[in-house]
Amino acid sequence: MANPVLVEVTRGNLVESRHRGMVAIVDGDGTLVTSLGDIDLPVFPRSACKAMQALPLVESGAADAFGFGNRELALSASSHSGEPEHVAVATAMLKAAGRDESVLECGAHWSFEQPVLIRQARSLDHPTALHNNCSGKHAGFVCAACHVGQDPKGYVTYDHPLQAEIRDVMADLTGSPLGHDNCGTDGCSIPTYAVPLRTLASGFAKMATGIGLGTERGRAARRIIEACMAEPFYVAGTRRACTRLMKVAPGRIFAKTGAEGVFCAAIPEQGIAIALKCEDGTTRAAESMVAGLLARRFRDEPEIADQLMGIANHTMRNWNGIAVGDVRVTDALFA
Amino acid sequence: MANPVLVEVTRGNLVESRHRGMVAIVDGDGTLVTSLGDIDLPVFPRSACKAMQALPLVESGAADAFGFGNRELALSASSHSGEPEHVAVATAMLKAAGRDESVLECGAHWSFEQPVLIRQARSLDHPTALHNNCSGKHAGFVCAACHVGQDPKGYVTYDHPLQAEIRDVMADLTGSPLGHDNCGTDGCSIPTYAVPLRTLASGFAKMATGIGLGTERGRAARRIIEACMAEPFYVAGTRRACTRLMKVAPGRIFAKTGAEGVFCAAIPEQGIAIALKCEDGTTRAAESMVAGLLARRFRDEPEIADQLMGIANHTMRNWNGIAVGDVRVTDALFA
């Protein structure tokens, strides 16, 4: 059966485009709270699982040794816009480990955000690896490797001990096997492993609640989640969805996007986590889906729910500022 | 029944994202040659119907009066990248009618193409209406209006005589009623009318063959289609799909993209036209769909078919140039 249409894009009085999706909401015990579409299909979490990938940085003691606070941990779990503040923190993290940008293996790209890109184009000859949206995660990788005496060279490869450790961490959290069979290469060159949304949500519910994790891992997971919620700008950037979602209810919502229409979120006080994917990989739809689902979870607090629904459903304007249509979630999202 | 998956995006050995779509291929008599998905659902053609919208420019005699050749006509039917050559031709068209950019009502935006945007950011304070991807169409509108003594002011509005004429032209070509009920506002502020893909394809088949059109309209339609095929750079721009598709077989393929995953194409010598939409509005998928369908129509000429399939199916590389997956059409496209 086809995945349900969860987001519609309208123009005039008609629906112009339709986005299908899959959603799993799971609690800390692994109990499925909500299921839409095929949640057993393996999905590459891409950047949505960066908070999981940051665990070795904390568990190894590297974060403490280098004096990292919320901003550094948030940036380690970020897909940032390459704004000056992001670049500065990534630079400082590498410096703390006695390294510089030459150690980064993520590649370089201009900011995905047009206003940032325009400022970059006017001030830079070309972007560096520090401007890569993943530079915070990679700086965290380098710090984690250096702290335990690993040579960071090749830290993005499947066989580097850091990637092996991340594989173990993610297998522990998701309960899904990770290996060559379900491995792809991410945009920043590290391995990414396709797992069912059901298990991805379960992993984030464990991180948010600590249930089923050892004391040390539970504490490290909670510290990363709290760092992201405390410094949402460092998880994404100006006007970005992750940042906006977390600012709606400070300290109460964790949200992280991934390429190709993935979104993960958690509400620690409710003990649940969400993992979703827009079937066609479109970010606009994944953002509306997660905002709508979070709104429903906060329906008893209308001020929060309304702000979240304002992110889920929004008017599109053309180059003259004329309202031409809407992006809106469907009733099927709340089925 | 759900529309079929026509394009898959892979990563490693797995499918990461899926694009569904609808396709109509129709001949000049209006006979349906190929049908995939729901081709009776109204679809906003957006910029894919610009060649139709350019007919008044030719039929009014304005194009001849102002001495317009293939470049000007191609630009009138274009969604260009805002490259200097595009801006120069749009500027010259307005000058021929004794006007300048202040008459344009399309709004302004930076180029959608990153290399062009970077050059613009370094050379311009801000983009003007001339840089809008629709400025060629709008310059054509202004020329058509001025030539017949209409005040161009408000030429983008539903009630302006030029838009009424365009409505008549498109109703004649598609055989679909156009009015307030199926009208939306396009990105450049003109009316856009949702019509079934079946009738949109039929309209382009009429334009490509002249069948069912009066002598004058048939000649004008053919002139616009031939101008686009003769000057494909002026229909889109460097590395753009429309330009690449038309360059594969010069003078034999017409192709025009529209926002939200629409594509129209025609092969005049075969007497057929294609209209398609990616259900979710994604351009990458619409491009693969149209390239795959054109390849199939040229299967007896492998050199052409192979180049078209190279546009349909292509490898995606990450920031380090590593191949991470493919965009590829599915067997269902050829069902």
Give the predicted TM-score (pTM) of the model: 0.98
Element (H, E) at A236: none
Q: List CB contacts (< 8 A) between A319 and chain B.
A: 106-109, 132, 187-189
pLDDT score, position A110: 98
Mean pLDDT of A1-14: 97
Q: Is A33 exposed, middle or buried (0-12, 13-18, 19+ CB in 10 A)?
A: middle
In A53-206, which ranges are E strands? 183-185, 191-193, 195-196
Supply the pLDDT for residue A239.
97
Q: Do B184 and A14 touch (CB under 8 A)?
A: yes
Put simply, the answer to whether A260 touches B9 (Cβ < 8 Å) is: yes
Contacts of A186 in chain B (CB under 8 A): 318, 324
pLDDT digits over A48-68, tens only?
Answer: 999 999 999 999 999 999 999
Q: Residue A112 has what pLDDT?
A: 97
pLDDT per residue as tens digits for the range B278-291:
999 999 999 999 99
- The residue type of B306 is D
Are A322 and A11 in contact by the 8 Å Cβ rule? The answer is no
At A323 the three-state DSSP class reads: strand
Q: What are the pLDDT digits (tens) for A304-333?
A: 999 999 999 999 999 999 999 999 999 999
Q: Do A182 and B108 touch (CB under 8 A)?
A: no
pLDDT digit string (tens) for B217-252?
999 999 999 999 999 999 999 999 999 999 999 999
pLDDT class for B202, splitting at 50, 70, 90?
very high
Distances (CA, A) of A55 to A63, A76, A165, A185: 10, 10, 10, 20
Interchain pair A117, B122: CB under 8 A: no
Hey, what amino acid is at B7?
A: V
> Does ipTM top 0.85?
yes
Mean pLDDT estimate for chain A: 98
Name the amino acid, one letter, at B268: P
3-state per-residue secondary structure call for chain B: CCCCEEEEEEECCEEEEEEEEEEEEEECCCCEEEEECCCCCEECCHHHHHHHHCHHHHHCCHHHHCCCCHHHHHHHCCCCCCCHHHHHHHHHHHHHCCCCHHHCCCCCCCCCCHHHHHHHHHHCCCCCHHHCCCHHHHHHHHHHHHHCCCCCCCCCCCCCHHHHHHHHHHHHHHCCCCCHHHEEECCCCCEEECEEHHHHHHHHHHHHHCCCCCHHHHHHHHHHHHHHHHCHHHHCCCCCHHHHHHHHCCCCCEEEEECCCEEEEEEHHHCEEEEEEECCCCHHHHHHHHHHHHHHHCCCCHHHHHHHHHHHCEEEECCCCCEEEEEEECHHHHC
Residue A17 and residue B281: Cβ atoms within 8 Å? yes
* pLDDT digits 0-9 by tens, A118-127: 999 999 999 9
CA distance B267 to chain A (A): 27
pLDDT > 90: what percent of chain B?
Answer: 99
- Region of residue A270 (phi > 0: left; psi between -120 and 50: alpha; otherwise: beta): alpha
Give the whole-angstrom CA distance, residue A180 versus residue B36.
Answer: 36
Asked if residue B91 lies in contact with residue B101, where contact means CB atoms within 8 angstroms, the answer is yes
Q: Which residues of A touch B121 (CB under 8 A)?
A: 117-118, 121-122
Burial B61-73 (b: 16+ CB within 10 A, else e): ebbeebebebbbb
> What is the predicted pLDDT for the residue at A166?
98
Q: How far is CA B82 from CA B116, B186, B234, B243, B259, in A?
A: 7, 18, 10, 14, 16
Question: What mean pLDDT do residues A200-208 have?
Answer: 98
Say if residues A104 and A86 touch (Cβ distance below 8 Å). Answer: no
With beta carbons less than 8 A apart as the criterion, state whether A202 and A30 touch: yes
